[in-house]
Amino acid sequence: MSQFWYSEETAHYLSEEVIHAINGLTERKSIACISCPTLFDKLFDKLQTIENNSINLTLFEFDRRFETKYPLNFVYYDYNQPIDDYMRRKFSQHSFDIVIADPPFLSEDCMNKLIETIKYLTEKKVLICSGAVMRDILEQRLQLQQCQHFIPKHNRQLGNEFRCFSNFPLRLCSNQS
């Protein structure tokens, strides 16, 4: 299994943005991380330090190693089955306030299936880190804007231009376009 882990700086920045985005909510607070275990790890650690933490954090991931580490927060996820029976039983439509995703493959097929999952899980905030070549699909299908002032980094060099896209303002990306 080939995983691309975010750099410490990227995981820190993205976790701060997600916590900032969720803080304004007064009712339930729920975060879904799809195929981004590095970010989930960072968020999990940060949320443990928040007093009276009532934020629901869920990792949707193919790599079952995380099921052992986070048994209460893990949901097995295969993008080839964007919304399976287990997901429908466990989560009602639009259960999450924010969904963060990093598609496991840089292909239109993978992205379209991931978008199907995202649209089921939320109608609110979405943040996706993916290749810049996915920009048109993300703009058209989810109305996401590319962040111009932040480029996600990984511990290993990737062969493609990687970018961050969202449908809500990110503090470091005040000039999204």
* CA angle (89, 17, 102) in 5-degree steps: 55
| Rounded CA separation 163/83 (Å) | 26
Answer whether 0.85 is exceeded by the pTM: yes
49-101-67-117 Cα dihedral, nearest 10 degrees: 130
Q: What is the C-alpha separation between 93 and 108, in angstroms, rounded?
A: 24
Residues 18-77 pLDDT 10s? 988 888 766 778 999 999 998 999 999 988 887 667 889 999 999 999 999 999 999 999
* pLDDT score recorded for residue 1: 45
* Contact assessment for residue 36 and residue 93, using Cβ atoms and an 8 Å cutoff: no
User: What structural domains and CATH numbers belong to the chain?
Assistant: 29-173 (3.40.50.150)
97-127 pLDDT, tens digit each: 999 999 988 899 999 999 999 999 999 999 9
